[in-house]
Amino acid sequence: MPPDLDPADELIAERRADPGKMPADMPAWMAATILRIDAASLWIGRLVCWMLLPLCLSMVYEVVARKFFLAPTMWAYDISRMFYGGMFMLGAGYALSRGVHIRADFLYRNWKPRAQGMVDAALYLGFYFPGLAVFMWTSVDYAWLAIERGERGMDTAWMPYMGPVKSVLPVGAALLLMQGVSETLKSVYAARTGRWP
């Protein structure tokens, strides 16, 4: 690795070396809230990653059936979309906790932690929570209507019920809102103390 390359620049959101410990000067309620939310996001992320197994198995089955037995399935395409969508939405809170969401931080990473914390806290409060709250509110109605009407996917011959898939949207938004609380508290701590927890 070149000597002038600082790997921490690329890992700005992965600031904490040990996610199980909070600084001693952090208020107890704040540390407990962050640790509980991060632990829940980690558990959910580990659970959601298991959705990859049926996704891969269904795709392998489809390829083998199509190429070797000339017997394509009606359901493999829908299953792949459903599992991938579920993984994307249900794993988004975990991704936020690990800092792997896309960031345009070429300026941000050179700022002092206090400035980073103030900007992050302002953006979470001004844009993140209001936007996700609206998304969650709309997606609850969207999912409920799909369940109530018995909506079916009309773009394939299998025509699966869409209620369960659409129900993942508000659940994913709720998980993102939950993790946003943890990230906001970390930002407030950084803005107050000049260092990230």
Q: How confident is the model over 140-159, as pLDDT tens digits? A: 999 999 999 999 988 888 89
pLDDT at 63 > cutoff 50 = yes
pLDDT tens track for 74-96: 899 899 999 999 999 999 999 99
Q: Are 190 and 117 in contact (CB under 8 A)?
A: yes
Q: Which long-range contacts (CB under 8 A, 24 or more apart) does 160-169 make?
A: 160/75, 160/78, 160/82, 164/82, 165/82, 165/85, 165/86, 166/139, 166/142, 167/143, 168/85, 168/86, 168/89, 168/90, 169/89, 169/135, 169/139, 169/142, 169/143
Q: Where would I find the H helices in the chain?
A: 7-10, 28-48, 52-69, 76-90, 92-98, 113-123, 129-149, 163-193
